[in-house]
Every structure is written in C-alpha cells, then in structure tokens.
Structure 1
Amino acid sequence: MNYNGLDYPYPSQRRVVYGTRGMVATSQPLAAEAGMEIMKQGGNAIDAAIATAACLTVMEPTSNGIGGDAFALVWVKDRLYGLNSSGPAPRGISIEKLKERGIDAIPKFGWIPVTVPGAPAAWGELSKKFGKLSLTEVLKPAITYAYEGYPVSPITAKYWAKAFEVYSQNLDGKEFEEWFKVFAPHGRAPRAGEIWKSPSHGRTLELIAETNGKAFYEGELADKIHQFSMEYNGYLNKEDLVAFKPEWVEPIKVNYRGYDVWEIPPNGQGLITLIALNILKGFEFDIKDKDSVDTYHKQMEALKLAFADGLKYITDSREMKIKVEELLSEAYGAERRKLIGKEALMPVAGTPPKGGTVYLATADGEGNMVSFIQSNYMGFGSGLVVPNTGISLQNRGHNFSMDEEHDNALAPGKRTYHTIIPGFLTKDQKAVGPFGVMGGFMQPQGHLQVVMNTIDFKLNPQAALDAPRWHWSKEKRIDMEKAMPKEIQENLKKLGHEIVVAEDVGLFGRGQIIWRDEKGVLAGGTEGRTDGAIAVW
C-alpha cells in the first residue's frame, strides 16, 4: 500500500501523515488530539475511538450527539468484528396509530421520528469487550470540554448557523425550547472561534461513564427521557430504553481485485457499496483511466443500480425479504453489469436526502484498528433536547416508509434503513485499515470512490480523499465538485447524465483513512472539506 499518488493531476493540498505507535483521524482537531492523549495514557485504539466519539458529541453537535446511533468495525488480534448499535422504533408506534392521527408521512422533527439512541451503549460495549482503560478515564476529555468549553471550528460554525436558520423556521412548540437554550444561548449559533460549553452535557457524560452507559438506559437519564417523551405525547419510553442492547454482527464483504472490502450488514447501507463494486470488478480500469469519462460513467451507472436495490431491499436484517448473499453473488453482479451501456440509465430508486454524521478512524502500535461512525441524522436530528441533559435526540425514524407493503415499512421495535456506515479494507487476511466517508446517502458513494482511488488508481490516502467527487441524487442527476474538469462534465452530459456543479462541498461527504503497511507504518489521510485533523504518535 505504499502508493504515493505523485502522478495524480490534482495534487493534494495536504500531505499524508505517517506514524507507528498510534493515529486518530477525524473531522475536529481537538477531538483527534483527545483520542491520541488517551492512547498515550495507556489506552488502545478502541479507547481512543470512544474518547474521540464522545468528544465529537460536544465539539461537532451539528452532526451527532449522545442521542444518536453508532456502528463500528474493530480489528483485534487478526479478526474483524462488527458492532451495530442502531436503535429500533419504539414498541408503541405503528403506521396505523400515525394514520389515526392524520399523519401520512413521517416528519423530520419532533417525537415521531425519534428512535432508541444507540451511541452510549456502543461506547459501553466497546469499552467492556476491548478497552484497556475504564470508561470514566476514556470520557474525561469530553466531560472537560463540555464543562469548560472550547472554540468552535470554522466548518462546524458554518453548519451550526445553517441549522439555526432551519430550526428557527421549522421548530414551533414548547418541546423545542431546550434546543435553542442549549445550542443558541445568545439567540444565534456560536461563531467560529467562539467558546461554547454545555455543563448539562458534561454531567450526562459523567453519568454514562460512572455506570458504563446504564444510566442512559435504566437510570436517571432514562427517567428524564421518558418524562420528556410522555409530556409531549412521544412514543419512546423507558421500556424501549431498558430493552435495547447493541448487537455484534458478522461484517459483510466483496473481494475487489485481491482486496476484501468490508461493511456492516443491513440495516446499514454499506451493502450498496459492495453491490456496486461487485458490478465494477467485471470491468478493467488502468491507473491512467482515473479521469476518463468511461470510468466515471461506469462508476455512476453501477452506483445507481446498487442504490436501486439498496433502497428497495435494505431494512432491519431480521425482516429483509432477500438475502445479502444473493445481492452480492457473482451471477447477480454479472446480470446487473449487462445493464450498463453507453448512455445514462434511469434507475428505479428514491430521492436520497442529505444527512449529518461524524466518522473517525483509529490505530495503535499493537495492531488494533477501529472504523467508527455515529450520527443524529440530518444535522442536529429531531430538534428535541432532553431538558437539563444536553441530550440531542436523533430523527432516524424519518427513513421509515409509511407504505405497509414496503420492505422498510415502519413497525414497532424495527430498525430502519440506516445511512451511517464504517468501512474496512483487508488483503490476504491482514488488515490494511479503516476508512469512511460521512454524509447521509453520499456515504456508499464516497466509499466506492475512495476504494477505487486506492485500489484501481494507486492513490495515497490523502490523494484518495482529495480527489474531486461526484454525488448521484436522483434519476440521471449527478452533482459534481467545481474541481472536476469541465471536459469531463461536458462529455458526461453527452452520455445523458444531468450534470450539476454544486457550490456546497458538504454535499460530497467528509472522509478519513488510516492504512497500515507490512512493516507496521501507519499512513493517514483526513478530509479537506471540513476541519479534518490527524493526531499521530
């Protein structure tokens, strides 16, 4: 994996970062440094991942929170483990009950889209199974930042201001007052460089640390969530919280040109990346083909076909009507590959919306590596903050369908189609490393592009992230970054693609990569489209 990317025509503005004893890559510098500090105190990559994730709930609340979900791929002692800590719909909700209230579509805000939060349980489970330090030690940096404050990063400030504008226009009701009290204490979003703190958030993290997460699901915090929900006719209650347990799952994979590309199985959408790669591996791509129109065309068509399947079939794995193995079979890949011609397809799929997520990757000198992702969805989530806790609740239930015949139909205790996905790469049963690209429905598209940049086009981790990206949104529409050469844009239009140059780089996701070579040297890349940073030892 000693790819230098020196021949890449769009040189990286950042350099690859190297280390041997430890590395943390994420979207906020202070959070990355906090994870590294935990490693230097005797923690491992798992401890560092938990510490960084907890810090991100404080330092990047625009994308995640204590009231969100989490997934992880963990490499320990030459084995890859998968953790699904996404919560289900409350047991008291149903399509029938919502329709009785005159609700035909699940809203973005309020109590209806709130599902059981899984992030605190993920931290506790990872710490218990693989951590070296106590959760109290690991969460200390996040607790300190919550109590004492920190200067808000530039990109976070940008999205905070956008969220404030959206919520000011859409959140109408007493139940939303706490959000403005906590996240807009001066009647506006905090500005870049301005100190923001949330003591109630700090106290919540202390309770989670002292009880290894139990306070959130069984104790004081669970009681507060229950009371808040009951006060405003919510469906989430303490019984839902008590019943929740994270699930260790077997990761799924596709072998792509000698490398195994790993994802979390459904309800996560990582399956879409693997379906697309399974189609694309039947084509040949040379290094010089990186910026050819034919390469982009085939990538886009394979991705659209994969999304058509994913949006139809992905839901709670216990209720999927078609097996993952069938969607990833060689025969099915070959069948779908035949559909790719010389003109843009019109896939049968939904319209993917934008989302808000944080991703981080960690590695230590012992060989442990973690690919970790957590999210509230659509930025801050539901707009609900549990009073006096700092807990911002997710709105993941918005992804459920109200069509009873749809595979992803809302049902009591069911997990919905989930956008957040961690990725991992291995070769010959040895770890290459964690990777991820956060950003709603951009995530499988970002995974696809990063994997091909790495394997097919031999780009180093930083160049693989810096390369101009595209984003399929619906039908034949492809959004492209400004850096994409105009010649490529024009030639893709000739093939029937509807090309739109997007102003907002946030549309194209935000990624992190850590690769380890055969000598144990770590090479990291971080996202230039956000406040990305790598802490290294």
Structure 2
Amino acid sequence: MVASSQPLATEAGILMLRSGGTAVDAAVAMAAVLCVVEPGSTDLGGDFFMLVKDGGNIRGVNGSGKSPAALTMEDMPWGPTSPHAVTVPGCVAAWVDSHDKMGKLPLREVLAPAIRAAGGFPIAPMAFAAVQEHRSSLPLDFLADATEVGAVVSRRELKTVLENIAKNGKKAFYDDGPTARAIVKAVPLMTLEDLKAHETILNTKPLSVDFHGVTAWEHGPNAAGLVVLLALQTLRELGVTDFSTPEAVHLMIKALKLAFRDARAVVCDPSTCYDVELMLTTEYAIASAKKVSDDDVIITAQQWPMGPDTASFQAVDAKGRFVSAVNSTYQAFGSKIVASGFTLQNRGFNFSRDPAHPNCVEGAKRPYHTIIPCILTGKIEATLTNMGGFMQPQGHVQHIVNLLFRGMDPQASVDAPRFCIDLDADVVRIEPTYGDEIITYLRARGHAVHVLPDDNYARAKIVGKAQIITRSSSTGVLVAGSDPRADGCAMGF
C-alpha cells in the first residue's frame, strides 16, 4: 500500500510494488514524481528524510545538505529568497544511496514514472493554486504552460536531469557537469567542491518515546522530530486520555509550544548536536507537565516564519517493510531560484542569527530541519506524516491522539479538523469544523485563535496535508488515508 498527495505519485509507488520492488523503491519513485508534478512543495533542489521499519529494526536516512563552506555570519541578514539561504540539495543523493542499500529494482525503472511525467502531465488543482499564488516571484519561463487546472505541463530541462541520474546515478547531479554548474552559477557562495563533498547520512538512529502503549519513532537532529516526542511525553505525564474535550486541546497547544521552545534550543547539525536523548526522560517530562498544567505559566511561541510546503508519502511492501518519507524545498518553491529546470531550497533560512546558538549561521553546516517522518509501533503499527513546515510535529501529535484515543481510522484522522500554532504570530489557527465550543474555550483560556476560511487551499497552507497507513495486529490488513486537502490518494493491492 502507498499514499501520497498526488495520484501520479501514488500510481508510481504501486507500480514499483507490483513489479516486486521494495517500499524504498516505491518511496524513491514517489519522491521523484512529486518533484515533477507538485513543484510548489518539493523539487530536485530539496532535501529528503526517511524512516524505514524492517522487522524489528528501525533506521533513518538523513538526506539534508549543508550550507556552502564559504558562508559566514557576515553574509547576514538574508531573506527567504536570498541565494544565501540555499543549502546543498540532498534529495538526489539520498534517493540513490537509499535505493542502492534497500532497493531491488533498477534505478532507471524507479525513476521512469518521473521521467514520463516530466514529458507532460496535467497539473492538479492544489498544485495549480500554488503556481498561481507565487507566479509573480518565479522566473517567467518556469511552469509557463501551467495556465489552468488540467493544463498539460512539460518540464523538459528537468526531464533531461532525471534521465542523466537514471543513467549515471548521483554523480550526474553532484559531479562537475551541466547540473552542478547551473547550481553553482545560481548560488554565488556555493562551489563545485560543496556539491562533491555532500554525503547522505545512512542508518541514523531514530528517537522514540512510549505514549500509552504506542512507541512513536521520529528522526533525530538536525530534523525536529524531538518536538513531537517532547509534546507526547508531556501529555503522557499530564494523564490526559480524553482528547475530545476543550481542555485537552488547550493542553496540547501548551505542550507543543513548550516542545518547540525546548527543541529550538538544541536541534542543529547532528555532528555537533547536544545529546537530546537526555531530554526524553520521565524527569524531564514531569517538569514539563508542571509548566503546562500551571495556569500562571505563559508559554509563548517562538518567532519563526511558518513554511507550509512539503511533500510526504508512505509505503508498505509485501515483506512488511514500512517507509515514512518526506521530500521538501521548505517554503513554497523554496528560494524561488531555478537551476537546470528545478527550484533550489531555502533551508538555510532556518539558521539562527545568534552567534552563540548551536544552530547559528556557519559554513558547511546542516541547519535545523522541519522535515520529520514518523513510524508507530506497539498497540498501533503505522507510518504517517503531516506536511507543512512547523505544522509537521503538530500534525503528528494530533494524528497519534486520533488513532489511539479517538477511535479513528487513517482516513478519519486525515479528514478530521486540525489546529496549527503559528509560531511567528503566536496565534492558534484552527479549522472551522473544530466547533464553536472548543474555539470559545480556547479564547477564554488566553489563546489568540484565528478561524481559517472554509477553503481547501487556504486550509492546506496552514494545517498541511497528511497521509497515514496502519496495519492491523490481528489480521495484518493495511488501512490507509490520504488528505482531502491535497490532490492525492492512497492505493493498495
């Protein structure tokens, strides 16, 4: 079974599994197709994170890139569309490295659906809305034929890049050649040496906590899976089990704000990161629960710019391997800088401007990353994601609660209304179907609440787009859900 935000990507994943491929083959195929057909969310100039459950073993793949080696604090300040915000694209290397280690089908077969799509695909409604919103800040010739929903869009330059990768592997992207030279030309501080030096971090050790009989697994730094785990263990110590009440929503919001604040202080490049497992203890959780339960303790959100755009996808293969994966250029169309027919990410915008901070601006360094795949084991076996920058950990917590305590299946959970703490404005943005009782209660408890319009694209930009696959412990049957706020679907056989 697979699930993604685009039908063509879902179809590519199923094709890999029907051809005898692994869940990793399916994930790479879906990632590549999403880069073609949902360019507002992801592209070849982005990064890739993945968790893989194979039997009792859970491993991670960190496909994030570093800043150019020449980058210094003096290059600040920058904006999200500055070339100084561009970090080395890590997704292509991560696809190839993951495929080489955990795939089965030939790489050319895995990338074939993306290559076909790049020759011409009908643009879907949500993808078209993103193009329309950001058209004025994109190069005139980029996606110029995306003139209406269903228009056939060709990405010929990207098609050539994908064909070269299918033939020659990651060296076609990172070694001196047309693609690497185009990236270096577009990003003044980046060099061919920066691209050649890039390496995927394979077999990373995920972080986990127990939450009422479910073990939640998240990717460690520089990914921000720590936010999810800190919030879950705080809620566990608070003893909340009825998450349908207004009070439970209030506590979830406070727990998440505290988790964001604590994670921001430590999440950084994994080579220099503080041992975050010291924060995943009962003692730490008890202290956090006291802060959250104390009405006199005001927990404010950190001033971080929200980024709603990311593409995520799930796969489970015939051998029972689970894959949760995310591919992203961060904010919509990343830096909006185009090289070789694809956009380059603006992940460096998440570096801290504080020179004393572990995530401070520095050359050859991976920044704090919002990308977080998730796998659940124990009472619930699942792979899930909720796209959308800093919404991702908030979505994970809400889906875990839905599956474990609210009796929801995957589709019911992704359909359910969600809230999102806007970390920049310190406002809780909430879908109107949450109901007046909860909205009124949250305002009475001191939260600034903004009710989102009843518009699919507007809501998806805030609360993100989710996919979930679960497996029944008693029957082994797979059940999936794909977010109606996106263009995609789930499919199995």
Give the TM-score of the pair, scaled to structure 2.
Answer: 0.95
Q: Is the 8 A contact 1:91 1:412 kept in 2?
A: yes
1:487 to 419, 437, 457: 437
Tell me how far apart the structure 2 counterparts of residues 32 and 284 of structure 1 sit (CA, whole Å): 39
1:326 is aligned to 278
Tell me how far apart the structure 1 counterparts of residues 296 and 311 of structure 2 sit (CA, whole Å): 35
Q: How far 1:491 moved relative to its partner?
A: 1.3
Of 190-199 and 116-125, deviating more is 190-199
Tell me the secondary structure at the aligned position of residue 455 of structure 1: helix
2:97 to 115, 125, 129: 125
Q: Is the 8 A contact 2:176 2:192 kept in 1?
A: no
Q: How far 1:469 moved relative to its partner?
A: 0.6
1:357 is aligned to 310
Q: How many residues align?
A: 484
| 1:469 counterpart = 2:422 | no
Tell me how far apart the structure 1 counterparts of residues 184 and 365 of structure 2 sit (CA, whole Å): 23
Q: How far 1:140 moved relative to its partner?
A: 0.4
1:151 is aligned to 122
Q: Is the 8 A contact 2:482 2:489 kept in 1?
A: yes
Listed as ranges, the matches of 1:1-12 within 5 Å are none
Q: Is the 8 A contact 2:302 2:426 kept in 1?
A: no
Alpha-carbon deviations, 1:204-254, whole Å to 9, x = none?
00111112212111142454235524xx6x111110111111002101101
Instruction: Give the 3 Å change call, closer, same or farther, for CA 222–194 of structure 1 in structure 2.
Output: closer
Tell me how far apart the structure 2 counterparts of residues 424 and 226 of structure 1 sit (CA, whole Å): 34
| 1:374 counterpart = 2:327 | yes
2:349 is aligned to 398
2:141 to 181, 184, 188: 181
Q: Is the 8 A contact 1:225 1:237 kept in 2?
A: no
1:64 to 42, 47, 54: 42
Equivalent AA in structure 2 for residue 510 of structure 1: K
1:520 to 451, 456, 476: 476
Q: Is the 8 A contact 2:218 2:226 kept in 1?
A: yes
Tell me the secondary structure at the aligned position of residue 480 of structure 2: strand
Report the RMSD for the aligned CA atoms in angstroms.
1.7
Q: How far 1:319 moved relative to its partner?
A: 2.3
Equivalent AA in structure 2 for residue 324 of structure 1: V
Q: How far 1:510 moved relative to its partner?
A: 0.6
Listed as ranges, the matches of 1:202-281 within 5 Å are 202-225=159-182, 227-229=184-186, 234-248=188-202, 249-281=204-236
Tell me how far apart the structure 2 counterparts of residues 495 and 327 of structure 1 sit (CA, whole Å): 28
Alpha-carbon deviations, 1:381-426, whole Å to 9, x = none?
112111xx32211111111122211221111111101011101101
1:451 is aligned to 400
Alpha-carbon deviations, 1:488-511, whole Å to 9, x = none?
111111111111102221200111
Tell me how far apart the structure 1 counterparts of residues 182 and 65 of structure 2 sit (CA, whole Å): 15
Of 60-69 and 30-39, deviating more is 30-39
Q: Is the 8 A contact 2:212 2:236 kept in 1?
A: yes
Of 341-350 and 355-364, deviating more is 341-350
1:313 to 246, 266, 276: 266
Instruction: Give the 3 Å change call, closer, same or farther, for CA 92–306 of structure 1 in structure 2.
Output: same
Instruction: Give the 3 Å change call, closer, same or farther, for CA 132–400 of structure 1 in structure 2.
Output: same
Tell me the secondary structure at the aligned position of residue 307 of structure 2: coil
Whose RCO is larger (CA < 8 A, sep 6+)? 1
| 1:87 counterpart = 2:65 | yes
Q: How far 1:433 moved relative to its partner?
A: 2.3
2:487 is aligned to 531
Equivalent AA in structure 2 for residue 412 of structure 1: G
Tell me how far apart the structure 2 counterparts of residues 402 and 316 of structure 1 sit (CA, whole Å): 15
2:239 is aligned to 284
Alpha-carbon deviations, 1:443-467, whole Å to 9, x = none?
0100111111111222111111111
Tell me how far apart the structure 2 counterparts of residues 325 and 141 of structure 1 sit (CA, whole Å): 40
Q: Is the 8 A contact 1:44 1:364 kept in 2?
A: yes
Tell me the secondary structure at the aligned position of residue 260 of structure 1: strand
Q: How far 1:348 moved relative to its partner?
A: 5.9
Q: Is the 8 A contact 2:254 2:299 kept in 1?
A: no
Q: Is the 8 A contact 1:344 1:495 kept in 2?
A: no
Q: Is the 8 A contact 1:225 1:238 kept in 2?
A: no
2:158 to 196, 201, 207: 201
| 1:109 counterpart = 2:58 | no
Tell me how far apart the structure 2 counterparts of residues 222 and 94 of structure 1 sit (CA, whole Å): 25
2:132 is aligned to 161
Tell me the secondary structure at the aligned position of residue 282 of structure 1: helix
1:13 is aligned to none
Tell me how far apart the structure 2 counterparts of residues 133 and 401 of structure 1 sit (CA, whole Å): 41
Q: How far 1:293 moved relative to its partner?
A: 1.0
Tell me how far apart the structure 2 counterparts of residues 350 and 331 of structure 1 sit (CA, whole Å): 28
Alpha-carbon deviations, 1:290-346, whole Å to 9, x = none?
3211110110110011011122221112223x4211221110110011012346723
Equivalent AA in structure 1 for residue 93 of structure 2: A
Percent of aligned pairs with the same amino acid: 36
Tell me how far apart the structure 1 counterparts of residues 177 and 104 of structure 2 sit (CA, whole Å): 27
1:14 is aligned to none
Tell me the secondary structure at the aligned position of residue 112 of structure 1: helix
| 1:54 counterpart = 2:39 | no
Q: How far 1:476 moved relative to its partner?
A: 5.0
Tell me how far apart the structure 2 counterparts of residues 441 and 69 of structure 1 sit (CA, whole Å): 16
Tell me how far apart the structure 2 counterparts of residues 123 and 348 of structure 1 sit (CA, whole Å): 35
1:9 is aligned to none
Alpha-carbon deviations, 1:95-147, whole Å to 9, x = none?
13x1xxxxx42221142111000010111011101111011110001001102
Tell me the secondary structure at the aligned position of residue 440 of structure 1: coil
2:390 is aligned to 441
Q: Is the 8 A contact 1:64 1:358 kept in 2?
A: yes
Structure 2 unmatched ranges of 5 or more: none
Tell me how far apart the structure 2 counterparts of residues 227 and 335 of structure 1 sit (CA, whole Å): 48
Equivalent AA in structure 1 for residue 197 of structure 2: A
Equivalent AA in structure 2 for residue 201 of structure 1: L
Q: How far 1:37 moved relative to its partner?
A: 1.1
Give the TM-score of the pair, scaled to structure 1.
Answer: 0.87
Equivalent AA in structure 2 for residue 36 of structure 1: I
